[in-house]
């Protein structure tokens, strides 16, 4: 592929609800531009962008794919993204480095949840967009109904620039509302009489909207003069780039109908990198923000938006050059990590194919292999002018599973394989829960976590089981108590003797455990205090109700006796441990459970259902705030009730809701639930025996 200037580049992300046909559309665009010679099919598992074995198996996109092509003297960097909500991290990365979006809508299904989410992502990054109404040849397809839905959801800015001729099995071509000609298989003709009145009506709306973007055009329009095709195109580009209009096109990706016209519209109406608003980066030396020039001769600033880890090829790092030029076989500075990177051969990526390129200029997208330190979200720049671009805002995980290796060999490789997969996908978090001794993997949903388990086996040969994590319960006492224990043994020779009196009292929740002594008169020598403390702390590791760690207790050694010959540190440690266990039983012990703070955002129409569901989960609603058709609910709920809330919420809100959850504090478990947990613990212990 030849080198292109910044003005000749288009960075376009494909967004949609799952199943609307993004991957089929990207394949048709590659085929239409000659980038590939055979049109692959998702169902056959041979498309350019869905090349990963997980995607082939599931017949849907899981990862962001870069599939550039050339059209009319321009390079179009197409980014195909997943439509399923579990893989939102891939979508956020692509939107962050795109200059525009094509939102794909199914002509039969219309505006869906994923369509609304896609629109929201585009709004957040302020990127212009087109809408492509796909699958017009399908049963129940209705272009005009979809246009009505688009305008109802997103405003009158959604205006068709072409109309379909026929629909479903009778779809034969389109009417271009700018030229007012009909096109069938790229053959120009006259508009059918049955469509002419409708076409003129839609054209009038389009011309009026375009004219409003320019003073000269609106004057000409109001004076009754007809706008030329060139004036309409120019005004439409200005209106689209500024976000005032969203052109709507129509076709069938699977049959490769309407694809070339979409490519024309991308070239004509969507912005080059230079048409976007200036962006800023932080100079890591001066700590000052600087406006970045989208110029190949300016200082280098490139944002890493994807990392692919492969056990054979190594790490492949994808990046977008926002400023300057990066060359193969050069040195770059990672401003995020303050480290130098050796940049080897640069590549243009198309699916799984890597084409070497000598350099990449401002506005372009490419990749490099085997960077040592660089991860997703980092900025590559020049060491003499270190610039850090704003990192990608990945969503926080909403669901967790415990990962258990199947064999000892799997255990040895578990940590390294998980860390490599988490590096590949920043929406995944891995941690070790000290209380339950489990490895916890957190992500956006069940499907994503299942894919991770499959990938670990396929890529790294690690077989794992994923289960619902254990709840890290704790225990404490609710009343002050005293306990005594005398450890005395005589087995010939030196015996064992340790005698302690302990006082225990509950502390405020979250305080932790404390140990002190107030021995007077030397009833227990000071050199045995640490042994008593050690015995006490060991006893606190396992409570008397459900064998959970004990917290928030103050333990005081206030008396005891010793033997000049038989006393030892071991004897006092044993005495301290037994006295502690005795005191726990007598101190009205209770079980504590982790309480999560939740911030739930749902459409107002689902508020009642969400509130009812929260009540069934022992949640306490702390407040509710209406926000423009949405409700933001603040609540606290036991972790045991909301571990799989991501699944419940998706079901209740049809995928429209979102939530954030974090640990807040511990609270006492109700008595009837404590009995159940204790019984389950005893059963589990019996099964192990």
Report CA 93 to chain centroid distance, whole Å. 9
Question: pLDDT value at position 493?
Answer: 67
Classified by CATH at the fold level, domain 280-388 comes out as: Elongation Factor Tu (Ef-tu); domain 3 (2.40.30)
Which CA distances in Å does 525 have to 126, 464, 502? 72, 52, 15
- Return d(Cα 602, Cα 633) in angstroms, integer: 8
SS3 category, 80: strand
Classify burial at 492, counting beta carbons within 10 Å of its beta carbon; exposed 0-12, middle 13-18, buried 19 or more.
exposed
User: Is residue 686's pLDDT more than 70?
Assistant: no
- Residue 15 CA to residue 349 CA, distance in Å, equals 20
SS3 label, residue 333: strand
Q: How many residues does the chain have?
A: 689
pLDDT at 187: 81
Query: Do the beta carbons of residue 589 and residue 551 sit within 8 Å?
Result: no
Tell me what pLDDT residue 278 has: 86
Q: At residue 61, does pLDDT exceed 50?
A: yes
Q: Are 540 and 513 in contact (CB under 8 A)?
A: yes
pLDDT of residue 305: 97
Between the two ends of the chain, the Cα-to-Cα distance in Å is: 67
pLDDT at 228: 87
pLDDT of residue 75: 97
CATH class, 399-467 region:
alpha beta
**Pair 374, 337: CB distance under 8 Å:** yes
Find out whether 309 and 315 touch, Cβ atoms under 8 Å.
yes
Strand pairing report for 246-250 and 129-134: parallel
pLDDT in tens, 184-226: 876 888 999 889 999 999 999 999 999 988 888 888 878 778 8
List 304's β-bridge partners, or say none. Answer: 319
Please, which residues have CB within 8 angstroms of residue 190's CB and are 6 or more apart in sequence? Answer: 181, 182
Whether residue 423 has pLDDT greater than 80: yes
d(CA 207, CA 233): 10
404: its two tokens = 């258990």
CA 355 to CA 347: how far, in whole Å?
5
Q: How many CB atoms lie within 10 A of CB 183?
A: 19
Q: Give the whole-angstrom CA distance, residue 634 versus residue 625.
A: 8
User: Mind spelling out the 3-state secondary structure of 348-406?
Assistant: EEECCEEEEECEEECCCEEEEECCCCCCCCCEEEECCECEECCCCCCCCCCEEEEEEEC
Residue 251, pLDDT score: 94
Q: Are strands 301-310 and 314-323 parallel, antiparallel or unpaired?
A: antiparallel
The DSSP bridge partners found for residue 334 are 339, 380
Q: Name the residue ranges covered by the structural domains of the chain.
A: 6-162+245-275, 280-388, 399-467, 475-587, 591-672
Q: DSSP alpha helices (H): ranges in 425-513?
A: 446-460
- CA–CA gap between residue 604 and residue 487 (Å, rounded): 65
Query: Beta-carbon neighbour count of residue 287 at 10 Å?
Result: 7
pLDDT band at 654 (very low <50, low <70, confident <90, very high): confident
Q: Give the C-alpha separation, 400 to 23, whole Å.
A: 29
Strands 399-405 and 438-443: antiparallel
Whether residue 468 contacts residue 401, with contact meaning beta carbons closer than 8 Å, is answered with: yes
Over the chain, what is the mean pLDDT? 92
Picking from 600, 499, 608, the residue whose alpha carbon sits closest to that of residue 557 is 499
State how far the Cα of 187 lies from the Cα of 572, in Å rounded to an integer: 96
Which pLDDT value is given to residue 166?
87
Count Cα neighbours of 334 within 13 Å in the Cβ-side half-sphere: 20
Neighbouring-strand partners of residue 100: 12
The pLDDT value recorded for residue 298 is: 93
How many other CB atoms are there within 10 angstroms of residue 211's CB atom? 21
pLDDT exceeds 50 at position 689: no
Give the mean pLDDT of 117-132: 94
Distance from C-alpha of 358 to C-alpha of 655, rounded to nearest angstrom: 44
DSSP assigned state of 316: E
Q: How far apart are CA 279 and CA 273, in angstroms?
A: 11
Q: Given this model, what pLDDT does residue 492 score?
A: 65
Q: Do domains 399-467 and 591-672 have the same CATH topology?
A: yes
Contact 146, 193 (CB under 8 A): no
Question: If phi over 0 gives left and psi between -120 and 50 gives alpha, with beta otherwise, what is residue 108?
Answer: alpha
CA neighbor of 106 nearest in space, from 67, 79, 74, 132: 132
pLDDT reading at 687 higher than 90: no
- Quote the CA–CA distance of 575 and 646 in Å, as a whole number: 48
Given a cut of 50, whether residue 78 has pLDDT beyond it is yes
How far apart are the C-alpha atoms of 669 and 193, rounded to whole Å? 74
Structure letter (DSSP) for residue 521: T
- Asked whether the predicted pLDDT for residue 312 surpasses 70, the reply is no
Protein fold of 475-587:
Ribosomal Protein S5; domain 2 (3.30.230)
Nearest to 161 by CA among 215, 194, 101, 206: 206
Class of the CATH domain delimited by 591-672: alpha beta
Question: What letter does residue 552 receive in the DSSP assignment?
Answer: S
Distance CA 113, CA 60 (A): 17
- CA distances to 148, 172, 204, 249, 480 from 166, rounded to whole Å, are 18, 6, 21, 14, 82
Q: Which CATH class is domain 6-162+245-275?
A: alpha beta
- Could you count the other beta carbons within 10 Å of the beta carbon of residue 660? 14
Q: What is the mean pLDDT of residues 438-447?
A: 93
CA nearest to 591, candidates 686, 493, 471, 500: 471
Q: What is the mean pLDDT of residues 517-535?
A: 91
Residue 617 near residue 633, CB atoms below 8 Å: no
As given in the structure block, the two tokens for residue 447 are 């499907």
More confident residue, 687 or 534: 534
- Torsion 371-377-383-385 (CA) sign: positive
Residue pLDDT, tens place only, 19-35:
999 999 999 999 999 99
Tell me what the mean pLDDT of segment 559-569 comes to: 91
pLDDT at 90 over 80: yes
């Amino acid at each position: 592929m030849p080198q292109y200037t910044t003005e000749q580049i288009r960075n376009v992300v494909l967004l949609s609800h799952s199943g609307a046909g993004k991957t089929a559309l990207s394949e048709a665009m590659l085929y239409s531009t000659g980038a590939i010679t055979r049109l692959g099919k998702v169902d056959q598992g041979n498309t350019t962008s869905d090349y990963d074995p997980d995607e082939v198996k599931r017949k849907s996109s899981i990862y962001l794919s870069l599939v550039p092509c050339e059209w009319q003297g321009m390079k179009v960097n197409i980014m195909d993204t997943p439509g399923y909500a579990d893989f939102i991290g891939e979508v956020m990365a692509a939107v962050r480095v795109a200059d525009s979006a094509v939102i794909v809508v199914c002509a039969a299904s219309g505006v869906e949840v994923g369509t609304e989410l896609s629109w929201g992502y585009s709004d957040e990054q302020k990127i212009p967009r087109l809408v492509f109404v796909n699958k017009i040849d399908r049963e129940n397809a209705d272009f005009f109904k979809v246009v009505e839905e688009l305008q109802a959801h997103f405003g009158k800015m959604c205006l068709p620039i072409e109309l379909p001729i026929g629909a479903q099995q009778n779809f034969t071509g389109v009417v271009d509302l700018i030229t007012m000609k009909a096109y069938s298989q790229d053959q120009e003709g006259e508009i059918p009489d049955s469509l002419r009145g409708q076409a003129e009506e839609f054209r009038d709306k389009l011309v009026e909207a375009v004219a409003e973007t320019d003073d000269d055009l609106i004057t000409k329009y109001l004076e009754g003069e007809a706008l030329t095709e060139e004036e309409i195109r120019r005004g439409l580009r200005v209106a689209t780039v500024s976000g005032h209009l969203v052109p709507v096109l129509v076709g069938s990706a699977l049959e490769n109908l309407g694809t070339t016209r979409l490519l024309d519209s991308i070239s004509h109406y969507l912005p080059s990198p230079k048409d976007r608003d200036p962006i800023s980066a932080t100079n890591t030396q001066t700590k000052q923000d600087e406006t970045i020039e989208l110029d190949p001769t300016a200082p280098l600033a490139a944002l890493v938006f994807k990392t692919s880890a492969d056990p054979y090829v190594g790490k492949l790092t994808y990046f977008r050059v926002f400023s300057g030029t990066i060359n193969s076989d050069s040195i770059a500075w990672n401003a995020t990590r303050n480290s130098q990177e050796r940049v080897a051969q640069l590549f243009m990526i198309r699916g799984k194919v890597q084409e070497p390129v000598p350099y990449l200029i401002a506005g372009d997208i490419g990749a490099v292999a085997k960077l040592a330190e660089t991860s997703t979200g980092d900025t590559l720049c020049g060491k003499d002018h270190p610039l850090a671009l704003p990192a990608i805002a990945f969503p926080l995980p909403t669901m967790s599973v415990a990962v258990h290796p199947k064999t000892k060999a799997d255990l040895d490789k578990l940590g390294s394989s998980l860390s490599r997969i988490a590096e590949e996908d920043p929406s995944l978090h891995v941690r070790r829960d000290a209380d339950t001794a489990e490895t916890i993997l957190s992500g956006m949903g069940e499907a994503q976590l299942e894919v991770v388990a499959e990938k670990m086996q396929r890529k790294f040969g690690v077989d794992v089981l994923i289960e619902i994590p254990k709840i890290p319960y704790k225990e404490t006492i609710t009343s002050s108590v005293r306990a005594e224990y005398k450890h005395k043994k005589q087995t010939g020779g030196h015996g064992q003797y340790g005698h302690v009196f302990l006082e225990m009292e509950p502390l405020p929740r979250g305080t932790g455990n404390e140990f002190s002594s107030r021995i007077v008169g030397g009833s227990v020598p000071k050199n045995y205090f640490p042994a008593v403390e050690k015995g006490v702390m060991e006893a606190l590791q396992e409570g008397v109700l459900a064998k959970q760690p004990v917290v928030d207790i103050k333990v005081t050694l206030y008396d005891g006796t010793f033997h000049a010959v038989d006393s030892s540190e071991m004897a006092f440690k044993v005495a301290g441990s037994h006295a502690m266990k005795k005191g726990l039983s007598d101190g009205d012990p209770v079980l504590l459970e982790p309480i999560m703070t939740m911030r739930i955002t749902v459409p107002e129409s689902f508020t009642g259902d969400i509130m009812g569901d929260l009540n069934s989960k022992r949640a306490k609603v702390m407040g509710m705030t209406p926000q423009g058709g949405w409700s933001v609910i603040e609540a606290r709920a036991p972790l045991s009730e909301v571990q799989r809330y991501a699944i419940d919420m998706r079901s209740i809100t049809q995928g429209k809701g979102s939530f954030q959850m974090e640990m807040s504090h511990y609270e006492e478990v109700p008595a009837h639930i404590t009995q159940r947990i204790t019984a389950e613990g005893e059963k589990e212990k019996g099964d192990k025996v």
